A and B are shown apart, each in its own frame.
Chain A
């Protein structure tokens, strides 16, 4: 099970920190990531990290502004979002890959947390 938290309303230029609490599997054995979906739009990868956290991907649109981290003992994934823009408004899904490798596919999704960036 993946449970996100931390979404809400932020001002342009502001910050938010998303959390994803994982349970039911060995967290450190699987790649994890964040996918977002703007209202009425398609899916967009935000960031992903391998099981060992030695391989990481960030979308160009968030590089330098967002930082993903994982706390394996607490089975929790984080997404620190800074310098937020209106175009970051979306539902953010926590995603679990089928293996430790971020090249593979996602087999489990959280229910999502809504981030709204507006003044």
Chain B
């Protein structure tokens, strides 16, 4: 089974800054099936990115997914106040441990 590792565990940034989140797989992962989710406290997860780089419906273009094989990245170009949350990468049957983006 694939193990997903996310780094960093916590990212402390200010609004307007760029966030770069990493997701590394223990073995090859098809880009077709790599997704990213956002979860805010007390809320259910929200699909941001699917197929490694396609934005889900209604997701603003400041969110960008990239990568292939074992290394994937979620980039938030300019953090808005509502972007401070936990982000999970996901591939069949497994989630990464999450990266918390909090306010510096």
Chain A residues with CB under 8 Å of chain B are 35, 42-45, 48, 57, 59-60, 93, 98, 102-107, 109-112
C-beta contact mask, B38-80 vs A, less than 8 Å → 1, else 0? Answer: 0100001101001000001000000000000000000000000
Q: A-B pairs with the 6 shortest C-beta distances?
A: A105-B35, A109-B44, A43-B95, A105-B50, A42-B98, A103-B33
| Smallest CB separation, A68 vs chain B (Å) | 13
Q: Which residue of A lies closest to B45 (CB)?
A: A109
| Smallest CB separation, B87 vs chain A (Å) | 11
Q: A43–B50 contact, CB under 8 A?
A: no
Q: A110–B44 contact, CB under 8 A?
A: yes
Known interface pairs A105-B47, A105-B90, A112-B44. Does A42 touch B95 (Cβ–Cβ under 8 Å)?
yes
Bound complex: CA A5 to CA B35 (Å): 27
